[in-house]
Amino acid sequence: MKHYLRLLQYLKLYKLRIAQAVVCMIVSAAANLYMPWIIKDMIDKVLAEKDMETLNLICIGVLVIFFVRGFFYFGQSYLIAFVGQSVVLDIRNALFAKFQRLPVSYFDRHQTGEVMSYLTNDVATVQNALADKIIDVVTEGAILIGSLVMMFLLDWQLALMTLITVPVVAVSMRVFGKMIKKSGSEIQSKLSDFTAMMQESISAERVVKAFGRERYEIDRYCEQNAKTFKASMQNVKLTSMLTPTIEFIAAAAATALIWFGGKEVVDGRITAGTLVAFLTYAVNMSNPLKRLSRAYAGIQQALAGAERVFSVLDMEEPIADKPGAIALPPTEGSVRIEDVSFSYTENVPALSHVSLSAEPGQMIAFVGPSGAGKSTIANLIPRFYDVDSGSIQIDGHDIRNVTIDSLRAQIGIVPQETMLFSASVRENIRYGRLDATDEEIEAAARDANAHEFIMALPEGYDTQIGERGLMLSGGQRQRIAIARAILKDPRILILDEATSALDTESEKIVQSALDRLMIGRTSFVIAHRLSTIFGANQIYVIEHGEIREHGTHEELLAAKGLYAELYALQFKKQLPDS
Ligand SMILES: Nc1ncnc2c1ncn2[C@@H]1O[C@H](COP(=O)(O)OP(=O)(O)O)[C@@H](O)[C@H]1O
Ligand SMILES: [Mg+2]
């Protein structure tokens, strides 16, 4: 009920159209309800009294009624569908916007496919309920009530008898409704698993092929598919049982009516026309009842989808602007990390008591074994996660006190693997700054050592690149990432193993572009190969989430600690005795 009311809240924006739809609905329902009266006149006047004039009137009346009914039926369906679709559009937009605001940690814990399932499957069930089933509920409900009113007008005793069936129908709908909603949740969660599995398997297609695991993936897919099938069939079973159950109750009631009504005609208390008209209403009621019960089932299932959608919409946003957060003024680029501790999962510290500072324009390097916590430090600076204790300050502003947009606008990140969009090379570079001109894009590409290879592509800057930039080599993708960062022109730069995935040849080209990018910016460089950080102002050696030692290259070599060991390992040199 709570979720239903909340869904209805979305309708508020469309009051006018709903009012128009209601008018259409009343007219078309009224036209519908008038038909049995015509049949009554047909039997009692035309057939019994052989009245030709009434017959003519009746025929004209029938044509007019059907025309009016058709016209307003169109209006009603169109308007209600319009409202339903609009609401779905609003919900989908709100949901997508919500996903954009959710923190990185949400996406650590949820698969891409699962997120997509919310946006597709769950929204689709809501759509079905709002755009389709609501029409049924409203129109059939009106016809049902109208028929009842007419039946009371014709013969109140018979009408009362018909009403006895109502509680029976209501109770059975309630029982089925609960079961259908439960099975609806089951379907939605199976669909979500299914979409996640599918998405994962297809995006890992190269891995699948490399290991020859096609058969294995097909089996996994079929198994998931079968689970979804089972959940769906359970639901179909319930929905399909609901309609005949309701219909049987209705048929039993109709039989009773025929018996009592027939007896009244035989006793001469009502005319044959009245009974036929009454029965027509009674039979007419079975259609709305059937549709209503089906719509009811659909709505129950949709509520299961709506519940999931709302659970996402209601999710907390731990990383959001504080009330009264100011925009970070254009920064000089001084960064202080003060006694920062952080863990992704409780009781598993990823960083403990890390302190360091960077003066504007300095290059700070992090080295250490994989899993040490280097990327974690990099993740905390743009607030992908918030520190558990301690603080990070930029130009003296605690980054939790400034708006996220203004913070991230001043930080450029070049990750190990760059995600490119399926768009042209130009648009991919422009992602760094949406209002950049073509000239600026080209200049950035030149600085990133990318201009030449881009010009060699079939359509230059307008060449479309695939989803994961598969048409481009790793080095080319990194150079596009660098061009993006140059275009953004941030004061603070984070290079997280930007060249580690590259071969030595392209590493050189990319490194020279990176060197140019770093000039005049505060840079945090996580390096795989030590040769790229010899010139750093400070090198921090990280292990198990702690700073083990720090200093310049020379200082650290002289200290003969962990750094010196790493150095010896990479350059396969014995440390000179001293
Ligand atoms: N998103 C995450 N969720 C949970 N644990 C994570 C996540 N990212 C990294 N970790 C863990 O935190 C530790 C530090 O990781 P990371 O900073 O990525 O290491 P590095 O970049 O030095 O290789 C590792 O133990 C890693 O398993
Ligand atoms: Mg890392």
Fold (CATH) for 2-313: ABC transporter transmembrane region fold (1.20.1560)
How far, in Å, is the centroid of ligand 1 from the Cα of 343? 9
Look at residue 578 in the predicted model and tell me its pLDDT.
45
CB neighbour class for 370 (10 Å; exposed up to 12, middle 13-18, buried from 19) = exposed
Look at residue 84 in the predicted model and tell me its pLDDT.
84
How far, in Å, is the centroid of ligand 2 from the Cα of 497? 7
Running DSSP on this structure, what letter comes out for residue 367?
E
Cβ–ligand 1 distance for 364 under 6 Å, the answer: no
Cβ–ligand 1 distance for 379 under 6 Å, the answer: no
Identify the residue whose C-alpha is closest to ligand 1 atom 6: 344
Cβ–ligand 1 distance for 346 under 6 Å, the answer: no
CA dist 198 → 378, 416, 557 (Å): 32, 26, 50
CA dist 233 → 186, 255, 355, 453, 523 (Å): 11, 33, 58, 55, 57
Concatenate the DSSP letters of all residues of 488-502 into one string: H--SEEEEESTTTTS
| For the CA of 108, the nearest ligand | 1
| For the CA of 540, the nearest ligand | 1
What ligand 1 atom has the least distance to the C-alpha of 370?
23
Listed range (19-28, 60-69, 500-509) with the worst mean pLDDT = 500-509
pTM to 2 decimals? Answer: 0.80
3-state secondary structure string, 127-148? HHHHHHHHHHHHHHHHHHHHHH
Ion ligand 2 residues within 5 Å by Cβ: 375
pLDDT > 90 in the chain, percent: 45
pLDDT for 469 beyond 70: no
pLDDT for 468 beyond 70: no
Tell me the domain boundaries of the chain: 2-313, 419-489
Give the start-end residues of each E strand in 24-137: none
Look at strands 389-394 and 335-345 and give their pairing. antiparallel
pLDDT for 495 beyond 90: yes
Identify the residue whose C-alpha is closest to ligand 1 atom 17: 373
Mutate to test the pocket of ligand 1, among 341, 374, 375, 540 (most ligand atoms within 8 A of CB): 375
pLDDT for 573 beyond 60: no
Cβ–ligand 1 distance for 369 under 6 Å, the answer: no
Token pair listed for 565:
């060991």
Cβ–ligand 1 distance for 376 under 6 Å, the answer: yes
What ligand 1 atom has the least distance to the C-alpha of 497?
21
What ligand 1 atom has the least distance to the C-alpha of 526?
21
Cβ–ligand 1 distance for 78 under 6 Å, the answer: no
pLDDT for 511 beyond 80: yes
Q: Comparing 572 with 41, which gets the higher pLDDT?
A: 41
Cβ–ligand 1 distance for 495 under 6 Å, the answer: no
Measured between its terminal Cα atoms, the distance across the chain in Å is 80
- Asked whether 192 and 161 are in contact (CB, 8 A), the reply is no
Q: What is the pLDDT of the chain when averaged over all its residues?
A: 89
How far, in Å, is the centroid of ligand 1 from the Cα of 7? 40
User: Measured at the alpha carbon of residue 303, what is the angle toward residues 299 and 305, in degrees to the nearest 5?
Assistant: 115
Task: Please compute the mean of the pLDDT values over residues 241-254 and round it to a whole number.
Answer: 82
| For the CA of 415, the nearest ligand | 2
Identify the residue whose C-alpha is closest to ligand 1 atom 14: 373
Q: What is the dihedral of CA 513, 519, 524, 527, to 10 degrees?
A: 40
How far, in Å, is the centroid of ligand 1 from the Cα of 376? 6
How far, in Å, is the centroid of ligand 1 from the Cα of 107? 14
Look at residue 377 in the predicted model and tell me its pLDDT.
96
pLDDT for 470 beyond 80: no
Identify the residue whose C-alpha is closest to ligand 1 atom 21: 375
Identify the residue whose C-alpha is closest to ligand 1 atom 27: 371
Task: Please compute the mean of the pLDDT values over residues 324-344 and round it to a whole number.
Answer: 94
In terms of Cα–Cα distance, which of 450, 532, 524, 534 is closest to 484? Answer: 450
How far, in Å, is the centroid of ligand 1 from the Cα of 364? 20
Q: What whole-number distance in Å separates Cα of residue 536 and Cα of residue 520?
A: 13
CB neighbour class for 306 (10 Å; exposed up to 12, middle 13-18, buried from 19) = buried
For residue 144, what pLDDT band results from cuts at 50, 70 and 90?
confident
Identify the residue whose C-alpha is closest to ligand 1 atom 3: 344
- Looking at domain 419-489, its CATH superfamily turns out to be P-loop containing nucleotide triphosphate hydrolases (3.40.50.300)
Mutate to test the pocket of ligand 1, among 102, 376, 500 (most ligand atoms within 8 A of CB): 376
What ligand 1 atom has the least distance to the C-alpha of 368?
22
Give the model confidence (pLDDT) of 518-547 as tens digits.
999 999 999 888 888 999 999 999 999 999
pLDDT for 576 beyond 60: no
Q: What whole-number distance in Å separates Cα of residue 538 and Cα of residue 529?
A: 16
Mutate to test the pocket of ligand 1, among 108, 111, 337, 344 (most ligand atoms within 8 A of CB): 344
The count of other CB atoms within 10 Å of the CB of residue 363 is 21
Task: Please compute the mean of the pLDDT values over residues 240-247 and round it to a whole number.
Answer: 85
How far, in Å, is the centroid of ligand 1 from the Cα of 324? 32
Look at residue 391 in the predicted model and tell me its pLDDT.
96
Cβ–ligand 1 distance for 374 under 6 Å, the answer: yes
Task: Please compute the mean of the pLDDT values over residues 297-308 and round it to a whole number.
Answer: 85
Cβ–ligand 1 distance for 344 under 6 Å, the answer: yes
pLDDT for 99 beyond 80: yes
What ligand 1 atom has the least distance to the C-alpha of 379?
17
**Pure H helices in 448-492:** 451-456, 474-488
What ligand 1 atom has the least distance to the C-alpha of 373?
17
